[in-house]
Amino acid sequence: MADTALLLAGLGNPGPQYALNRHNAGFILADAIHAEYGFGPFRAKFEGLIAEGELAGRKVHLLKPQTYMNDSGRSVGAALKFFKLPLTALVVAHDEIDLAAGKLKVKTGGGDAGQNGLRSITAALGPDYRRVRIGIGHPGHKDRVTGHVLQNFSKDDLAWLKPMLDAMVEAAPLLAKDDDTGFMSKVALLLQPPPKEKKKDE
């Protein structure tokens, strides 16, 4: 598959008022990958912002839909069609309330678990694409979900978010190699606390 370009879409809502929302975890990851790997500048296309670069020698189109979360499928579908890519070449990074904060899971296919961006993409393209699920935790009651995802990451969240983003960025080339298990394993390894040094006997 590496001879086919990858479309890596990070989901979120456009505008500075949403920039640090939990719902914008996909945008935040896309920006971090963009900065680390020297992608070209973002430009407006496909009702989104798109930049081009490489991961592990594979061409990558990095997309941030600007349609608002609920219409992500319009932007992602337009880009996938324009580049003539199969659904298997799509990776979508998004926040996931059904995963504990700071947890990560990559999977292909499945339901949308109430994530409106995924619902929109699946309605446009079908379910068989890869998802990078970034756990933001559940507020405990469904009536509080909207408020939870549209709140900014808290100070406590930033304590796990920064190391997790750093680990995901470092492991990102494995996504381009279609090695989702390797990606998850590397992130987990990078997030392990360093071993405590044994005190020397006095």
Q: Tokens representing 121?
A: 């993409």
Q: Name the residue type at position 95.
A: D
Q: Which residues of 164-187 are buried (b: 16+ CB within 10 A; e: fewer)?
A: bbebbbebbbbbbbbbbeebbebb
Using CA atoms, how far residue 27 sits from 16, 109, 141, in Å, is 12, 21, 25
Q: Which residues are 133's β-sheet partners?
A: 94, 105
pLDDT given for residue 3 in this prediction: 77
Hey, what domains does the chain have and what are their CATH numbers? Answer: 6-190 (3.40.50.1470)
Q: Which residues of the chain have pLDDT under 70?
A: 1-2, 198-202
pLDDT score recorded for residue 163: 96
| Catalytic option among 23, 34, 61, 148 | 23
Structure token pair of residue 193: 């606390």
94 given a catalytic annotation = no
CA torsion sign for 21, 24, 29, 31 is negative
Say what the pLDDT of residue 199 is.
64
> What pTM value is reported for the model?
0.94
pLDDT at res. 114:
83
pLDDT for the residue numbered 198: 66
